[in-house]
Amino acid sequence: MKMVMDGADVHRQSVLALIRTKSTLKAASIACGRNHGYFHQYLFQSKPRFLPEDVRIKLAQYLGIAENRLREPELFVNVDTPPAQAPEARPRLMVYGRESDTGIDMVTPVAEIDCPPSLLRVVDAFAAYIHNPNLSPWLPVGSLIYVDPSKPVRPDDFILVRSGKTGRIAIYRGRTTDSIVLDAGDGQDEKVAISAISGFWKIVSVDFP
């Protein structure tokens, strides 16, 4: 098996593992609108040295992960949380929960809560209320879910899928080159095109009503 070139940074090793867990280098390159060998050149030849922002965003959506996991370390500003934080300075977590005709309104938060310790270092974490009765008894209506976009999504995970301005909860069943397979809670598999969604992220914990 070909390995990332000698001297390449740990970041490229990580990106290679993320892509191979979900897909192939060729398929990922095509999904991002680039030539077949784009990610092979990036990973094994350092061309380009940094992934353009539009490529990072498309690849993150394709892999179902947070975009910041694909940024080269040189692009990061120090975002470490101070080791000792006053309670009043604890980061706040946005909570979405206004029900819309097609799911959960993901534009306007309905509340803010203290960020749980497990999500303090997750930049894009958020929470949302459950409205779909089909998800009972696993996720009863009124449950508060916590979403961690940095976690990899695996079959049978509960996820939040965002499409445009709304989101919905489903069970992740798997993916193909251009779609993901979901179960909305009724036991029926549904294929959703990757191009039709903004992202899908793992639900990592729940506060039950």
Q: Quote the number of domains for the chain.
A: 2
Per-residue model confidence (pLDDT) at position 1: 43
Pairing between β-strand 99-100 and β-strand 126-129 as defined by DSSP bridges: unpaired
SS3 129: strand
Has residue 4 been placed in a domain? no
Query: Is 174 in contact with 180 (CB distance < 8 Å)?
Result: yes
CA distance 56 to 62: 10
Residues 120 and 200 in one domain: yes
Full DSSP string of 135-174: GTTTS-TT-EEEEETTSPP-TT-EEEEEETTEEEEEEEEE
Domain that holds residue 55: 10-75
Flag whether 167 is in a domain.
yes
Three-class HEC string of 53-82: HHHHHHHHHHHCCCHHHHCCHHHCCCCCCC
Q: Out of 75, 101, 116, pick the residue that ends a domain.
A: 75
Q: Are 172 and 160 in contact (CB under 8 A)?
A: no
Instruction: Name residue 20's beta-bridge partners.
Output: none
Q: Are 150 and 57 members of one domain?
A: no
Cα–Cα distance, 113 to 121 (Å, whole number): 15
Query: Are 102 and 170 found together in one domain?
Result: yes
Please state, rounded to an integer, the average pLDDT across all residues of the chain.
81
Residue 161's pLDDT band (cuts 50, 70, 90): very high
Spatial CA neighbour of 142 closest among 102, 171, 110, 166: 110
pLDDT per position as a tens digit, 90-100: 578 999 988 76
Last residue of a domain, one of 45, 75, 105: 75
pLDDT score recorded for residue 65: 82
* Cβ contacts of 3 within 8 Å, gap of 6 or more: none
- Residue 2 within any structural domain of the chain: no
- Cβ neighbours of residue 40 closer than 8 Å, sequence gap 6 or more: 25, 26, 29
79 pLDDT more than 70: no
Instruction: Give the angle 59-124-8 at the CA atoms, nearest 5°.
Output: 45
Residues 52 and 116 in one domain: no
Instruction: DSSP letter for 5, please.
Output: P
One-letter identity of residue 34:
R
pLDDT reported for residue 160: 92
In this prediction the pTM is: 0.56
Residue 101 has pLDDT above 50, yes or no: yes
- CATH number of domain containing 96: 2.10.109.10
Q: Are residues 25 and 57 in the same domain?
A: yes
Averaged pLDDT, 133-146: 84
Whether the predicted pLDDT of 2 surpasses 70: no
**pLDDT recorded at residue 5:** 44
122 and 166: one domain? yes
Give me the pLDDT at residue 75, please. Answer: 52
Position 3 in a domain: no
